[in-house]
Amino acid sequence: MNCEEYRAAIATDPSFDGGAGHLNECADCQLYRSEMQALDQKINRALAIDVPELQMPELPELSTSKSDNVTTLRKRSWAPPTWFAMAATIVVAALLGVRLIGTGIEHESLADEILAHLDGEPNALRVTDVAITDARLNTVVPADIAHMDHSAGLITYAQTCPIRGYDVPHLVIQGERGPVTILLMPEENISGPQRLSGENVNGVILPVGDGSIAIIGERDERLDRIEESVLKSVAWRT
């Protein structure tokens, strides 16, 4: 390690404790280190502003019935021809840019719950180029529920999450504008595609067989291609 490398390391983190060999022989770097550590102490003091007493907001009562009744996905028989016919219809609709706005009263709460869920799991929405492993994907999307391959895009997050009382696979792929959330919901039957829109996000819930798939990205993300690839990469096994 030379002076330049050592100083670069100290300047990004004055608590850096590597480079002892160089430090022992370089008085200039010892001085630089002391200066940066003193600077950091001042920064710390300056940042530690007084905090007013905690004012807890009025917290709404939340029903615990859903979490009490969380069940695993039921297996359901489903003939492949039906799946292929319906998936093909949806893919064609997506390719043609057909966007049906759901009348949505019956399922409005599904969209709300999905958006609320996204807000509650912000760590999922990080920008990264590190894909999850096949083993992780297979754990979150078990073979007896659905098959999903990596063709939908770079899958960077997978977690099983409760949505409307069911544990469902929550996946994130990296879109052009940022992370795109995908929720596979084999138990959520909807009559037609539903748009959903939150602050900075837009998305759609697509009916797929007896279930549905939600796809939500940044507001300016082009979802049509992602919708197409997700629909191609997912097949229910329930």
Partner 1 sequence: MHSNKAATERRQRFDRQVGVYHQDMYRYAAWLSRDKTIAEDVVQEALLRAWKSLDALRDDSSAKQWLLTIVRRENARYFERKRLETVDIDNLTASQAALLAEQPDEELDEMRRAIYELEDDYREPLVLQVLMGFSTNEIAEQMGLKQGAVLTRLHRARAKLKDQMAKS
* Contact positions vs partner 1 (CB under 8 A): 8, 11-14, 35-36, 39-40, 42-49, 51-52, 54-57, 59-62, 64-65, 67-68, 116-117, 119-123, 125-128, 161-162, 178, 199-200
Q: Which two tokens mark 161?
A: 């999450």
Between residues 87 and 163, which has the closer beta carbon with respect to partner 1?
A: 163
**Closest distance between partner 1 and the C-beta of residue 91, in Å?**
31
CA angle in degrees (0–180, nearest 5) for 72-209-157: 55
Dihedrals phi, psi of 192, to nearest 5 degrees? -165, 170
Nearer to partner 1, 65 or 77 (CB): 65
Nearest approach, Cβ of residue 230 and partner 1 (Å): 22
Cα–Cα distance for residue pair 220/70, rounded to 1 Å = 34
Residue closer to partner 1, measured from CB, 81 or 122: 122
CB of 47 to partner 1, least distance (A): 5
Smallest distance from partner 1 to CB 78, Å: 30
Nearer to partner 1, 13 or 134 (CB): 13
Q: For 177, which DSSP code?
A: S
Q: What are phi and psi of 204, to 5 degrees?
A: -150, 145
CB neighbour list of residue 12: distance below 8 Å, 6 or more residues apart? none
State which residue, 54 or 143, has the beta carbon closest to partner 1. 54
Smallest separation (angstroms) from partner 1 to the CB of 172: 12
- Whole-angstrom distance, CA of residue 75 vs CA of residue 92: 28
**Residue whose C-alpha is closest to residue 173's, from 233, 117, 84:** 233
What are the start-end ranges of the H helices in the chain?
A: 3-12, 20-25, 27-47, 65-68, 80-95, 108-120, 134-140, 223-233
> Residue 179 or residue 209: which is nearer to partner 1 going by CB?
179
- CB-based contacts of 204: which residues, under 8 Å, 6+ apart? 99, 193, 194, 195, 196, 214, 215, 216, 223, 227
Considering the complex, what minimum distance in angstroms separates the CB of residue 131 from partner 1?
A: 16
Considering the complex, what minimum distance in angstroms separates the CB of residue 158 from partner 1? 14
